[in-house]
Amino acid sequence: MSRFEAVIFDLDGVITDTAEYHYLAWKQLGTELGISFDREFNETLKGVDRMGSLERILELGGRQDDFTVEEKEAFATKKNEHYVSLIQDVSPADILPGIEQFLKDLRVAGYKIAMASASKNAFAVTNSLGLNDYFDHIVDAATVVKSKPDPEVFLKAAEAVGVRPDKCIGIEDAAAGVTAINDAGMYAIAIGADEGLSHANIVLRSTESLTIDVVRGI
């Protein structure tokens, strides 16, 4: 073991890539509201929770003051129902490259493993991927008050597995998530080619580079 004792994963963009389904579901809702956006704008929604994403889309269309709280909640529910229907076919084939081997190796090496996702669908997705048994704890996003970039979800994950934040490694694909890991006092590994991830301790281009040797070397 290295000086770290736990590894805390983001879900979307690290373990699997459901971002495309979030995009399609938000895009349809946007079309219904007369707000169109592209994949580039969608990048800014990564790691942002459901209501936060809706607010950003409404702001983009200048419609942030056009609806009541109840109407906004109904929009978010509608998007989620569409998203849930799109992820029905998620299977182990959708695990990103190298992730299952990495989880196995972490287990054998004795690391605690937790998940800190902003998604209220995280448990259902990891279940469909067949990965739930690897996790000591999956934070229920419904219990998180302050979403990423606030460190709350990572701190909750660390507490649940009984490991001090400075002995945790956090893994993220979104800029807001890396900020959350940093502010939690953890070691940040970012996945992706995006320039906006340079505040992480190390940046790996893809999940294929995420191996037990990387963890042992830091």
The interface mask with Mg ion, positions 41-80, x = CB under 5 A, is ------x---------------------------------
| Interface pick for ligand B16 out of 4, 5, 6, 12 (rule CB under 6 A) | 12
**How is residue 74 written in tokens?**
């109904």
Footprint of Mg ion on residues 169-188 (CB under 5 A)?
Answer: 173-174
Helix (H) or strand (E) holding 127: helix 122-129
User: Would the CA dihedral through 86, 88, 89, 93 be positive or negative?
Assistant: positive
152 binds ligand B16 (CB under 6 A): no
SS3 for 12? strand
> Can the peptide bond before residue 149 be classed as cis, meaning omega within 30 degrees of 0?
yes
**Rounded to 5 degrees, what are φ and ψ at 6?**
-145, 150
From candidates 16, 90, 96, 121, binder to ligand B16 by CB under 6 A: 121
CB of 217 to ligand B16, least distance (A): 26
Which span sits near ligand B16 by CB under 6 A: 105-113, 116-124, 129-137, 197-205?
A: 116-124
Binding status of residue 47 toward ligand B16 by CB under 6 A: yes
> SS3 for 197?
helix
Q: Which of residues 56-75 bind ligand B16 (CB under 6 A)?
A: none
Task: Give the closest residue to 122 by CA, choosing from 77, 114, 51.
Answer: 114
Residues that bind ligand B16 (CB under 6 A): 10-13, 22, 45-50, 53, 80, 117-121, 141, 174
